[in-house]
Structure 1
Amino acid sequence: MPPDLWNFALDLYARPGVENACLRLQEQGADVCLLLAAAWLGRRGVHYDPVCAEQLQGIAGPWQRDVVEPLRRLRQAWREAAGTDTGLCELRDGVKRLELDAERRLLARLEEIAAPWPEANGQDWSWLDVLAGTAREDRDALQSLRAAAIEA
């Protein structure tokens, strides 16, 4: 398991079924960066703490709202037109890179606060259930993410 959150997230996201599970959960309102951080914490064996979860949400919420989501909306809005406009396609690719960089920076912020939290024996998947928010009802997607994280 990669010790840092970014490389863990890249490894986890590349595993079969994880991208689809994350996108399903995102469509239901979950923050994928929080889900990846939750999987990282669970895999590391950090015991769930509601105060710590609130700290993560306090970092992720404003960053998603003010930085990531506007980039995502712009990229998605240009999808159809970029199919026939080379210049717009190049701009859209640039926005996509910015969106990914914004998510990488969010993961770095989450890691910075969570890295010192003590690890324990065993894994704690409560993080995933709580940080999935309203998307926690999609048990299949969460189980896919959990199973992949266990193997990571």
Structure 2
Amino acid sequence: MHTDLWNYALALYARPGVEAACLQLQEDGADVCLLLCASWLQARRARVSDERVCALLALAEPWRIEVVQPLRTLRQQWRMAAQGDAALALLREQLKGLELQAERTLLERLQACSQQWPAGSDETADDWLVRLAPDLCRDHGALDQLRAAASALQDAEDGD
């Protein structure tokens, strides 16, 4: 299993259908970094608790609002104009790199927040994905697709 969240997120995101599912969930208001963290915590079998969920949400929300979202919004605003302007296209790619670095920083912070939580819990009654997804996304097919891809990744890593 990937021991760090960043490499786990890269491996999961590379699985078939995950990128599209994440983009759909993001459009519906989900924080993809939180969902990737949720999948990682589920794979590690870290026990879910209200306190832990609140800690992750409190950490992620300000960073998403103040750092990631403004970068994403500007990048998206430049999409059309950059198609006919090479200089703007280069700036847009640089902005995309900053957005990715901001997401990586958030994943590193989420990992640091949750690193001390013991792995290997036998309590499987609660689902990190459901707890960290916004209400609108909890019954979303894309969330099920993310869950299935995370399970397939885990099976592949376990050698099943």
Q: TM-score, normalised by structure 1?
A: 0.95
Unaligned runs of 5+ in 2: 154-160
Question: Matches of residues 31-42 of structure 1 in structure 2 within 5 Å?
Answer: 31-42=31-42
Q: In terms of mean alpha carbon deviation, does 122-131 or 102-111 score higher?
A: 122-131
SS at match of 2:10: helix
Question: Is residue 46–residue 117 contact of structure 1 (8 Å, CA) maintained in 2?
Answer: yes
Question: Matches of residues 19-30 of structure 1 in structure 2 within 5 Å?
Answer: 19-30=19-30
Cα distance in 2 between the residues matched to 1:98 and 1:121: 36
Cα distance in 1 between the residues matched to 2:75 and 2:114: 30
Give me the CA root mean square deviation.
1.2
How many residue pairs get matched? 151
Aligned twin of 1:136? 138
Question: Matches of residues 6-21 of structure 1 in structure 2 within 5 Å?
Answer: 6-21=6-21
Cα distance in 2 between the residues matched to 1:63 and 1:35: 15
Is residue 2:141 matched to residue 1:151? no
Q: Which runs of at least 4 in structure 1 moved beyond 3 Å after TM superposition? A: 121-125
Question: Is residue 47–residue 121 contact of structure 2 (8 Å, CA) maintained in 1?
Answer: no
Is residue 2:105 matched to residue 1:105? yes
Cα distance in 2 between the residues matched to 1:142 and 1:150: 12
Cα distance in 2 between the residues matched to 1:71 and 1:122: 40
Cα distance in 1 between the residues matched to 2:150 and 2:50: 21
Question: Matches of residues 115-126 of structure 1 in structure 2 within 5 Å?
Answer: 115-121=115-121, 124=124, 126=127
Q: In terms of mean alpha carbon deviation, does 120-129 or 14-23 score higher?
A: 120-129
Cα distance, 1:47 vs. partner? Answer: 1.3
For residues 65-108 of structure 1, give each alpha carbon's deviation from its aligned partner in whole angstroms, at most 9, with x where no partner exists: 00000000000000000000000000000000000000000000
Cα distance in 2 between the residues matched to 1:123 and 1:150: 17
State percent identity of aligned pairs.
52
Question: Matches of residues 12-91 of structure 1 in structure 2 within 5 Å?
Answer: 12-91=12-91
Cα distance, 1:120 vs. partner? Answer: 2.3
Q: TM-score, normalised by structure 2?
A: 0.91
